């Protein structure tokens, strides 16, 4: 079984997590601290090893479980909605590339 974070992306969590925090701060709270393009990163990963629907479904499952464990309220609900939207957009674009 290929594990994307370790086997394909070879993620350096000390570098990656601050970028993710900035992205979600931008996506949920409207800050301007994030500079980047997550789609490019995912298409690069997809070129190494195809991303499939189950990858995105698992991500949203973990995302929503984490939100439910630690948060509640309007921003938590918005975070789950944005996660679903992110999953859909990424999946559609990746599926177009994979055709």
Q: What is the pLDDT of residues 19-49, one digit of tens each?
A: 999 998 998 888 888 988 989 988 988 998 8
Name the one residue in this structure whose structure tokens are 């701060």.
25
The pLDDT of residue 14 is: 94
Tell me if residue 38 falls in helix, strand or coil. Answer: helix
CB contact at 8 A, 94 and 51: yes
- Could you tell me where the DSSP H helices lie in 1-99? 13-29, 38-48, 53-70, 74-98
Task: State phi, psi for 38 to the nearest 5 degrees.
Answer: -60, -25
The pLDDT of residue 7 is: 84
Mean pLDDT for the chain overall: 90
* Residue 65: pLDDT over 90: yes
* Residue 89: pLDDT over 90: yes
Residues 40-68, mean pLDDT to the nearest whole number: 92
Asked whether the whole model's pTM tops 0.75, one would answer yes
How many CA atoms are closer than 13 Å to the CA of 39, on its beta-carbon side? 11
């Amino acid at each position: 079984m290929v594990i994307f974070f370790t086997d394909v992306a070879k993620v350096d969590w000390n570098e990656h997590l601050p970028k993710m925090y900035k992205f979600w701060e931008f996506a949920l709270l409207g800050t301007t601290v994030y500079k980047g393009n997550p789609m490019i990163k995912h298409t690069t990963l997809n070129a190494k090893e195809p991303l499939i629907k189950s990858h995105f479904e698992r991500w949203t499952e973990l995302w929503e479980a984490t939100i439910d464990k630690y948060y509640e309220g309007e921003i938590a609900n918005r975070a789950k909605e944005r996660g679903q939207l992110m999953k859909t957009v990424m999946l559609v674009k990746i599926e177009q590339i994979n055709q």
